[in-house]
Amino acid sequence: MKWPFSKKRTVWDKLWVLGVFVSLALAGSIYGVVLALRGPSPIASISTAAYSGPTLKAYRIEARDIIRPFFDQARQMTPADLSVVGGPIGQLAAKTQERFLRLRVPTEAKDFHLATVLLLDRWQGVTGLKATEQAELLGRTQSLIEGNAWIW
């Protein structure tokens, strides 16, 4: 059975789909032009405002909460203890460093932050260090703790 006007209907359907596509594209273009001519929205100007980092006091409070458990453990260590508990203290250092790296740092605290991150990195591989290097690591940790009394 042959349908009447089947060829015409197919051509009409294709043209109808093309017409819908063109009209949607034209409507989107007009909408974009209108938005561009209106200027920036007030919300856009609010979100592009300069972000000021945390204050030194806020950073110290956050850093103290993160670093203090590790420093509590490290202060009690002796070079002889490191051979026994080197693995767990290395894992604690890795977890502490991961949390510490997420902090936003004010410019006044960048030196402390970098020194602490590098020290924690060194603590992660404490089991592979020689006895003299372990003693040096403990000394560096003690000097960092003593140089920053705000931790306690």
Please tell me the predicted confidence (pLDDT) of residue 44: 58
pTM of the full structure: 0.63
Confidence of residue 96 (pLDDT cuts 50, 70, 90): very high
Q: Are 63 and 103 in contact (CB under 8 A)?
A: yes
pLDDT at 25: 95
**CA-based torsion, 107, 109, 110, 111: positive or negative:** positive
Environment class of 88 (CB within 10 Å of its CB; exposed 0-12, middle 13-18, buried 19+): exposed
Sequence-distant (≥ 6) Cβ neighbours of residue 73 within 8 angstroms: 89, 92
Q: What is the C-alpha to C-alpha distance for residues 1 and 104, in angstroms, rounded to an integer?
A: 76
pLDDT at 4: 57
